[in-house]
Amino acid sequence: MLIIWLSVIYRTLGRGAFFCRRCGGDRAYRHRAGRRYITVYFIPLVPLTKTGEHVQCLTCKTRYVTEVLKLPTTVQMQVALLAGMRAMVGIILRAGDPANPLSRRRALDAVTGAGEGGYDEDALKADLAEPADTARAKIGALGAQLQTEAREWYLAEAIRIAMADGPLTGAERSAAEHLAAALGMTQAQAFGVIALTEQNAGR
Q: What is the pLDDT of residue 40?
A: 81
Q: How far apart are CA 36 and CA 112, in angstroms?
A: 54
The answer to whether the CB of 67 falls within 8 A of the CB of 135 is: no
Backbone φ and ψ of 167, nearest 5°: -60, 155
Residues 6+ apart with CB under 8 A from 40: 2, 3, 4
As a whole number of angstroms, the distance between CA 128 and CA 32 comes to 45
Strand partners, 15: 30
Structural domains in the chain plus CATH codes: 4-70 (no CATH), 74-201 (1.10.3680.10)
d(CA 94, CA 172): 9
Three-class SS state of 121: helix
Quote the CA–CA distance of 50 and 71 in Å, as a whole number. Answer: 25
Could you give the CA distance from residue 73 to residue 187 in angstroms, rounded to a whole number? 30
pLDDT at 203 over 60: no
Q: Is the dihedral of CA 164, 98, 179, 85 positive or negative?
A: negative
- pLDDT over threshold 90, residue 52: no
Q: What percent of the chain has a predicted confidence (pLDDT) above 70?
A: 98
**What single-letter DSSP state applies at residue 24?**
T
pLDDT digits (tens, 9 = 90+) for 128-161: 999 988 999 999 999 988 899 999 999 999 999 9
Q: How far is CA 104 from the centre of its chain?
A: 25
Average pLDDT along the chain? 91
Q: Are 121 and 93 in contact (CB under 8 A)?
A: no
97-137 confidence digits (pLDDT tens): 999 999 999 999 999 998 888 899 999 999 999 998 899 99
Q: Rg (Cα) of the chain, in Å, rounded?
A: 25
Q: What is the rounded distance in angstroms from the CA atom of residue 39 to the CA atom of residue 54?
A: 23
150 Cβ neighbours under 8 A, 6+ residues apart: none
